[in-house]
């Protein structure tokens, strides 16, 4: 059997999106994918406990303001796990340029809004949903995009809309969005792992026509 596609995760928080990836790719019917490790940006991040329970390797970014040291640590750790796909799942730090370059087209981020709205530095978690509610927008959603050197800016792989309802609070919108994240992120990673989507040298995201026609994503039960 072919070697599984090796997926590494970068996270800063509770790690519910990490969990969604572990749940999806640890099933017996997906032997071709494996979550091989998670790098937490700080000690005490909830994602570390999830990794321990799932039997997934973990590492913690050394507390350092030095970009070069951060880059070296990330590159070494990801290479040590022989990571083929890297997923930012609630990772609040900028990924240093050498890491982006080393994993170009194979590194994804999930953002809890419809980019390019409500993104950028400082826009994460509850702050995003607060900004959405304050703006009066009636639709928000989830974006999965390829990572480049800026926060929340790289080429968009897929998006899914989520309604903002009358009386919604940042917490209630956030919960509705998070439930969609847990479905969209594993689907996006699977699409990249299987070659259904790719980032071309011209910076454009290309989906295979067959997949679009098949409605496979829409019919999934998970
Ligand atoms: C998720 O909502 C993710 O989209 C968001 O952080 C949360 C992490 O939750 N990411 C960003 O805001 C990135 N700009 P989790 O730790 O439970 O997966």
**pLDDT tens digits, 159-200:** 999 999 999 999 999 999 999 999 999 999 999 999 999 999
Query: Rounded to two decimals, what is the model's pTM?
Result: 0.93
- What's the total number of domains in the chain? 2
Residue 220 has pLDDT above 60, yes or no: no
153 assigned to some structural domain: no
The conformational region for residue 195 under phi > 0 = left, psi -120 to 50 = alpha, else beta, is left
Q: Where does a domain end: 88, 103, 118?
A: 103
Q: Measuring from each residue's beta carbon to the nearest atom of ligand 1, which residues come in under 6 Å? A: 11, 13-17, 89-90, 110-112, 123-125, 128, 152, 178, 181
Domain span at 49: 1-103
148 assigned to some structural domain: no
Same domain, 98 and 125: no
The residue whose CA is least distant from atom 14 of ligand 1 is 124
The residue whose CA is least distant from atom 11 of ligand 1 is 124
d(CA 188, CA 158): 7
168 assigned to some structural domain: yes
Distance of CA 188 to the CA centre of its chain: 9
| Annotation marks residue 111 as catalytic | yes
Q: How far is the CA of 77 from the centre of ligand 1 (A)?
A: 22
149 assigned to some structural domain: no
> What pLDDT does residue 29 have?
72
pLDDT in tens, 95-133: 999 999 999 999 999 999 999 999 998 899 899 999 999
Same domain, 116 and 221: yes
> What pLDDT does residue 222 have?
46
Same domain, 25 and 123: no
């Amino acid at each position: 059997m072919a070697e599984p596609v090796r997926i590494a995760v970068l996270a800063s928080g509770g790690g519910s999106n990490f969990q969604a990836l572990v749940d999806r790719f640890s099933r017996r019917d997906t032997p071709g994918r494996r979550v091989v490790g998670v790098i937490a940006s700080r000690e005490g991040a909830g994602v570390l406990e999830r990794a321990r329970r799932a039997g997934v390797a973990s590492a913690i970014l050394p507390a350092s303001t030095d970009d070069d040291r951060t880059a070296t640590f990330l590159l070494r750790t990801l290479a040590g796990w022989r990571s083929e796909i890297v997923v930012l799942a609630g990772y609040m730090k900028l990924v240093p340029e050498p890491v982006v370059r080393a994993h170009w087209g194979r590194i994804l981020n999930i953002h809890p809004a419809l980019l390019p709205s409500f993104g950028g530095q400082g826009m994460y978690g509850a702050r995003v949903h607060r900004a959405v509610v304050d703006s009066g927008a009636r639709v928000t959603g989830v974006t999965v995009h390829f990572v480049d050197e800026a926060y929340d800016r790289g080429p968009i792989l897929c998006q899914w809309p989520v309604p903002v309802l009358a009386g919604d609070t940042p917490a209630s919108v956030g919960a509705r969005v998070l439930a969609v994240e847990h479905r969209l992120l594993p689907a996006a990673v699977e699409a990249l792992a299987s070659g259904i989507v790719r980032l071309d040298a011209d910076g454009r995201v290309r989906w295979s026509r067959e997949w679009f026609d098949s409605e496979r994503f829409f019919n999934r039960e998970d």
